Structures are given as structure tokens and as C-alpha cells.
Amino acid sequence: MARMKGATVVDTERCKGCNLCVVACPLDVLALTSKEVNRKGYNYAHEVLSDTCTGCASCATVCPDGCITVYRLKTD
């Protein structure tokens, strides 16, 4: 059965670690870093469960800073 595979690219320097993308993701793909911070000092969003992403773009849609780019590919 064909299924959607997605991938997110987070502009980690632009990210302010608001966590809204993490909350919006229905599949827990994203999380904030626990230790690493960007140059502004924020923990930033990153993929932790890459394989489960379907590319629904919920994370990117709710991101107030437009940090997330989403790609999607149909697989067999």
C-alpha cells in the first residue's frame, strides 16, 4: 500500500523553541533539544522520530516564525 513519507527541515537558528510544533505534531516526530541551544540560546525543534513523519505540515503551519520546511514523498 502506498504511504506518505515526510521530512521536516527546521531552521534551527530561527527557531525560538516555543514548542508549538511539537504539540501540533500528531505523531510525535518533533521534540525540543534537551541540552543543545542555538545562538540565541533557545532549545530548538528537531526530528526525533523521522521514520513516522507523513509530511502533514501541521508543525510548519503552526510555527509562528516560519522555521519549518516540509517535504513529502509517496512510497510503495
Partner 1 sequence: MTREEIIEKGQLVYKKPTLLNDTPMHYCPGCSHGVVHKLVSEVIEEMGMTDKTIAISPVGCAVFAYKYIDVDWQEAAHGRAPALASATKRLWPDRLVFTYQGDGDLACIGTAETIHALNRAENITIIFINNAIYGMTGGQMAPTTLLGMKTATCPYGREVKLHGYPLKVTEIAATLDGTCYVTRQAVHTVAAINRAKKAIRKAFEYSMQGKGSNLVEIVSTCNSGWKMSPEKANKWMEENMFEFYHLGDLKDTGADK
Size, binding site for partner 1 by CB under 8 A: 33
Closest C-alpha among 59, 61, 53 to residue 5: 53
Among residues 1, 2, 14, 28, the one that binds partner 1 under rule CB under 8 A: 14
Residue 22 parent element (H or E): helix 20-24
Contact flag: residue 72 with partner 1 (CB under 8 A): yes
Q: Considering only residues 1, 2, 5, 12, which one is a binding residue for partner 1 as defined by CB under 8 A?
A: 5
Residue 29: Cβ-neighbour burial (10 angstroms; 0-12, 13-18, 19+): buried
Residues lying near partner 1 in the complex (CB under 8 A) are found at: 5-7, 9, 14, 16-20, 23-24, 42, 47, 50, 55, 57-58, 60-73, 75
